[in-house]
Structure 1
């Protein structure tokens, strides 16, 4: 089995199109792509991204930002959702409502956005009180994997490409973010997540001799067009992150 995993598109249709092209060039068909959620939120091209995703009909799980778009009242949305919501049709919102929290794909692969029980918690990373973002201790990672029997586990949410082997041999993979390489957040402490590159990230997973091999791919695209769009929409942190993979004061 060989397939591609994408996550955290965040309305960046240009990055998504580049990743889809690269996936095709690796000989992977569209029906062998899975999507780990957070599809549309952000100040970019949510409507265009939604149209493309609906046409692809990928196996997709719901991210926390997908949930916010359908659960939060329009006037009470965070800026990421408010920017996207204005571009979405009832059909787009109905699609978000149908997305499952988690999914088992081809029996061997477990999909979720963040963790099996919570769509807002980093699975593989921990945020320390000083704001540093580090690899979580393996025991804590394994505790979150209790009850998941699949040998390959996929998650997103942190936007950082990473793979962790559990003590029983299971493998957890985060493919990184297609469309948002840098952001900040204040939960549980103020912190920044910065990929350090504006390239679009995804992962190829391949079962070889009974085990899983993982290749992370970073794909160039016209990221400056999206940076300019974020600036035009009044989102300077997005503008900086899309231009460089770092936030503004780096």
Structure 2
């Protein structure tokens, strides 16, 4: 079994196309899973949604996907509001129908066992929250690698012992962790948004920046070989400069800087 794992496309259609081409170049996979945050951002949300709607992939909702659908513009971030204004009815219906990331059947391997088997679990952030990092911890104005006890606390008893691979997203940081329980946790990083900051007004977190330091699109391939799960983190170059120009034209110079560099701009 070979699975391509992606997350956090954020409407970056060019980056998504580059990832899909790279998967094909490597000979393809048995399944593709997409861990959410599909369209939020100042790029190409409609084209991204229409492409994703046509795929026979296993796709779940992230934290931004339901936010894009909220009626009151004041309840959405600027990125969510831009995407909401670009989507058509079919793409909104598709977004609303995405699988809930907090469905416990995703965490036990039960929901899609016919396609993934029972050893594979999925979530967007953690099994208990779409806005919590699993493998990172916010500290100061940045993040650090989460300690094993922190990861264990966030997992709780939501992932049963028979699960051997857990794929998560949300932090946009590519990372692979193998716990002493033999559980392999894979965060593929972000397809379309290499850096961001969390607002000081965010109700669940203090201000911090998340930066992977590369403008490339990121995804992962997980493969079961001789009874063990292995994972490779993959970085794919694409025309990030064109994406940055589009973000700037749409009024998001912070996004433009992040797309070009993999870092958020600093105020001097």
TM-score interval, smaller chain: over 0.9
Q: CA deviation at 1:73?
A: 2.0
Question: Aligned partners of 1:44 and 1:32: how far apart in 2?
Answer: 27
- What are the Cα deviations for residues 142-173 of structure 1, in whole angstroms up to 9, with x where unaligned? 12222212110010000000011122111111
2:234 alignment counterpart: 217
Given that 2:142 and 2:210 are in contact with CA atoms closer than 8 Å, whether structure 1 keeps it comes out as: no
The CA distance in 2 between the partners of 1:132 and 1:18, in whole Å, is: 29
- Give, in whole Å, the separation in 2 of the partners of 1:127 and 1:72: 30
**Aligned twin of 1:162:** 175
Q: Of 138, 143, 153, which aligns to 1:143?
A: 153
1:54 corresponds in structure 2 to 53
Q: Which residue of 2 aligns with 1:108?
A: 119
Regions of 4+ moved over 6 Å: none
**Structure 1 residue 75 displacement after superposition:** 4.7
Q: Which residues in structure 2 correspond to 1:168-207 (within 5 Å)?
A: 168-186=181-199, 187=202, 188-207=205-224
| RMSD across aligned positions (CA) | 1.4
Q: Do structure 1's residue 15 and structure 2's residue 15 form an aligned pair?
A: yes
Deviation of 1:72 after TM superposition, in Å, equals 4.9
Q: Contact between 1:156 and 1:175, CA under 8 Å: does it hold in 2?
A: yes
Contact 1:64-1:120 at 8 Å conserved across structures: yes
- TM-score where L is the length of structure 2: 0.89
Q: Does 1:133 align with 2:143?
A: yes
CA distance in 2, matches of 1:210, 1:240: 43
Match of 2:134 in 1: 123
8 Å contact kept, 1:201–1:216: yes
Q: Is the 8 A contact 2:69 2:84 kept in 1?
A: no
Q: TM-score, normalised by structure 1?
A: 0.95
What is the aligned partner in structure 1 of residue 261 from structure 2? 244
Q: In structure 1, what is the equivalent of residue 26 of structure 2?
A: 26
239-248 or 198-207, which deviates more:
239-248
2:96 aligned with 1:86? no
Deviation at 1:94, TM superposition (A): 1.1
Which residue of structure 1 lines up, in the alignment, with residue 67 of structure 2?
Answer: 68
Is the 1:133–1:193 Cα contact (8 Å) retained in structure 2? yes
Aligned length: 248
| Mapped contact 1:3–1:28 kept (Cα < 8 A) | no
Once the two structures are TM-superposed, the CA of residue 86 in structure 1 deviates from its matched residue by 1.1
